[in-house]
């Protein structure tokens, strides 16, 4: 166990005949993060000194199907997203993001939460409505971006 890690979260199904696929843990991961961010106030504790925490999603697109599902969930939760360059998906998103940086976003179209959207629809939503920043895979750069997003996002 690594220093600073205190818990394992294991998932399972009552029906043992169904096997998990890579990425099946994503929804649980997001739900767990959401509950942690609420803090003790929602748990019935009287101490109000713990403000609600923030979430930033970092996507490494090595497994495209799983990465797209995580992006879609983050968009539905209106979370800021950092996409790492280096994978085919990450590079594609980064190229499109850099190409659109000079454009003014038209916010007249409201983003609608969706699940199971096509790859093109998820990428369209990400570029048009997402709180997106692309980053190299440099750990220092990613850490700086995450810290900035945790500071400025609501």
Taking CB atoms within 8 Å and a gap of at least 24, the contacts of 118-121 are 119/64, 119/68
The pTM of this model reads: 0.73
Residue 36 CB contacts under 8 Å (≥ 6 apart), including other chains: 53
For residue 114, what are its two tokens? 């969706």
pLDDT tens over the chain, length 154 residues: 556 667 777 777 777 777 777 667 777 788 888 877 776 555 555 555 556 678 888 998 778 888 898 999 899 888 899 999 999 999 999 999 888 876 766 667 788 888 888 899 999 989 888 888 899 888 899 889 988 888 886 5
């Amino acid at each position: 166990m690594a220093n600073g890690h205190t818990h394992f979260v294991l998932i399972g199904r009552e029906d043992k005949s169904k096997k998990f696929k890579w990425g099946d843990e994503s929804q649980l991961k997001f739900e767990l993060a959401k509950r942690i961010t609420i803090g003790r106030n929602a748990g019935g504790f009287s101490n109000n000194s713990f403000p609600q925490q923030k979430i930033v999603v970092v996507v490494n697109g090595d497994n495209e199907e799983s990465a797209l599902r995580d992006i879609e969930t983050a968009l539905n939760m209106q979370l800021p997203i950092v996409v790492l360059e280096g994978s085919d998906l990450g590079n594609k998103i980064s190229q499109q993001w850099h190409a659109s940086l000079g454009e003014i976003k038209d916010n007249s179209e409201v983003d609608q939460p969706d699940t199971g959207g096509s790859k093109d629809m998820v990428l369209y939503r990400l570029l048009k409505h997402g709180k997106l920043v692309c980053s190299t895979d440099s750990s220092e750069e990613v850490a700086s971006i995450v810290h900035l997003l945790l500071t400025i996002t609501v």
